[in-house]
Structure 1
Amino acid sequence: MSEYDRLKSEWDENFTSGVLGDCRDSFLLRVSRRLWNVNLKSLSKSILGRLAERGNRDAREILVDLTVDEKGSDQAADLLQKFALEGVPGAALHLADLLAESYGSREVAEKWYRAAMSEGDPAALNNFGCFLREDDARFAEAESTLLQAFQIGDPLASGNLARMYFDAGDFDKALPWFSKSVQLGVDSVLPVAARNLAALGRGKEAEEMIRDALSKEVPGATLAYAQILSASSEDGSLGNPEEWFREAVNESAPGVSFPFACWLESRGREEEAIAFYEASAREGEPNAHLNLAIIYERRDNFRLAEIHFQAGMASGDVKAAVTYAHFLAENDRQDDLGRVLEGARKMGASERDVSEIRDLMDF
């Protein structure tokens, strides 16, 4: 039976009785995927486009993902902007989230987050809060936004507040918010919540929580356990850090390369660390470039050190800019500090960081 005959048969079986609405949309989504898989891409995108214009979120997300894969993020952003300007529900927030992932598009992303909030999109406050917490200078604003999201009933906001406090090293403040999130059934926070417990010296509870996360196959649990073990002077009941880091690598766990590289470097295994730092840099971790630069500077390989300092700056790492400035000053290259200062300012460096670079220029 041909693909056409299979689809026609399914249509006749399910829709001759006049069933419409969401059920029909689900069928059309399946049709669009099949058409794409048999290389009828234009027809597939036409179906998805019509569903997206009617406000079907799944269709819009599939269409954007396909556009990213086929033509890149810029084309996908153009498509989402078209939907947003036409008032398609959810498109403004989807566009904001896409732009937020692209360094250099934050001002435009914020505009669309605010548009989504003005439209009353229930997820907009939480997503905007997450966007804000990536900027240390806007910590209080992120906190206030996530609190508002929690107060209007978004369960994800409690976990994001907890993560924000955890990332800031305020483990005591993070604890009750992790507890709220777990009570609300947000299992995705379990790995980081376990790390928070471990940081508070509550190792037994942390290991119990990790076991729960592992049994539920929560993404990130394997890596989180490796990180808990790597911060401890003793192996856990389930093994040692390297075993769990390797398992996380085998699982292709997002973000595993950087902490594994840090652990390897701390054990004096620099060559292995370099390989994982390089992998982490390819994955988009900006701090990886700084760590590579420091290693190569320590080895007197100034050419590679400078390449990674500059790559770190290009990734938006202000700390890389400040450290690069010290590197240049120590090598009597004060004339090059002006462009580093300019780059740091463009990245939104704090006045303290700017002053530190300026002082090196005057030294």
Structure 2
Amino acid sequence: MTESNLAAEAAQRLVAGDRAAALSLYLRAWNRPDDEVAERIFDLVSEWGDIDAALKTVEAEARGGNPAAYEALAELLVELDRPKEALAALRSAADRGRDVTLMIASVLADELGDREQAEEYYRQALVDDNPRALNDYGAFLSEDDERLDEATDLLRRAIERGDTMAAGNLGRLLADEEKYEDALPWLKQALDAGHRSVLAVLGETEHALGDLESARTHLREALAEEVTGAHFAYALHLADTGAPEEAVRHYEAAAKEDGETNAHLNLALLHEELEQWSRADHHYREALAHNDETAYVYYAQFLADRNRAAQIPALLKAAEELDLDEEDLTELRTLAEEQS
């Protein structure tokens, strides 16, 4: 039975209320973790109401001779924040002949923080000539500021092989380096190829280049599609285009919904601009609590401006214990001395 037929029969079983049968059929139609069948599996498990029962069904399907189900099980376990079990499931899939080298690398790097072992798997995927290896390895290296040249080389090689996702990752890397003119064509190429996840960074890039109309359009699309980073990028756009109150709402959403801790310092600065002193103080403290090292000098200046300079020495002491950048420490010491 073809994948489409299996998926169609699964949908019928689900309508009939037989979740276990529907899940088993979807698992037999499983191909990769980013297609429509995978999405239906995740939705079914989420709506099941009994996660353990759903996982047992997936595991039974895997042990019953469908090794691809181990991949689905791993994806579900990652979503449930159970990465060690996910890794074990992927190793079981590999033992049964499934090519999950890149999935193992991703779990090791993103979920378990073992970048050294993850890199071994990325390198193995290159040796195996996995068509996604150049992009995935390049994206992995792009998170290391010391290896951006290597990342760029891998992503360019992936693009030469027709990997449009790599164009988005290269554009993102260049935008992070504030090379916006270089980033723009790659981001547009990725978007034209259907990679909607670049909408937020594309809007940010267009904003930086002064194309505010395009930036606003793409950032609003990113918000509507719940693209990661959309709230933060749109807040930056709003703050720079004279809408601080609306920017506050999106920075708050970035902090609460997206876990974007850098939003706290921006919120503090906006509340200070709006003369909302207690809210500014709250977010300065939140920024410090989230180890935002750039917040120390800003907060010290805020304290000085609010006639609370007596608190600066304690702030300086905390900064010294963190081994803050020497330039920032010098500025903090100057502020402390000015108020003594």
Superposed pair shares fold, TM > 0.5: yes
Report the secondary structure of 2:98's partner residue.
coil
Q: Distance in 2 between matches of 1:9 and 1:215?
A: 33
* Structure 2 equivalent of residue 129 of structure 1: 138
Letter in 2 for 1:98: V
Count the aligned residue pairs. 298
* Pairing 1:7-46 to 2, within 5 Å after superposition: 7=18, 21-22=28-29, 37=50, 39-40=52-53, 43-44=56-57, 46=59
1:254 to 237, 247, 258: 258
1:303 offset after TM fit, Å? 5.7
Q: 1:167 to 1:103 in 2, by over 3 A?
A: farther
1:203 aligns with 2:212: yes
Query: Is residue 55–residue 89 contact of structure 1 (8 Å, CA) maintained in 2?
Result: no
* Structure 2 equivalent of residue 346 of structure 1: none
Q: Distance in 2 between matches of 1:245 and 1:88?
A: 47
* Structure 2 equivalent of residue 355 of structure 1: none
Q: Distance in 1 between matches of 2:230 and 2:42?
A: 32
* Structure 2 equivalent of residue 289 of structure 1: 292
Report the secondary structure of 1:201's partner residue.
coil
Q: Distance in 1 between matches of 2:247 and 2:112?
A: 32
* Structure 2 equivalent of residue 58 of structure 1: 72
Letter in 2 for 1:133: S
Name which of structure 1's ranges 199-208 and 51-60 shifts more when overlaid on structure 2.
Answer: 51-60
Q: Distance in 2 between matches of 1:280 and 1:102?
A: 24
Task: Please provide the CA RMSD for this pair.
Answer: 4.4
1:272 aligns with 2:279: yes
* Structure 1 equivalent of residue 246 of structure 2: 243
Q: Distance in 2 between matches of 1:38 and 1:244?
A: 38
1:142 to 144, 151, 163: 151
1:107 offset after TM fit, Å? 1.2
Query: TM-score with structure 2 length normalisation?
Result: 0.68
* Pairing 1:68-107 to 2, within 5 Å after superposition: 68=81, 72-81=82-91, 83-84=93-94, 87-90=97-100, 92-101=101-110, 105-107=114-116
Specify every segment of 5 or more residues in structure 2 that has no aligned partner in the other structure, as ranges. Answer: 1-15, 31-36, 302-308, 334-340
Specify every segment of 5 or more residues in structure 1 that has no aligned partner in the other structure, as ranges. Answer: 314-319, 331-363
1:101 offset after TM fit, Å? 2.6
* Structure 2 equivalent of residue 341 of structure 1: none
1:8 offset after TM fit, Å? 8.6
Query: TM-score with structure 1 length normalisation?
Result: 0.64
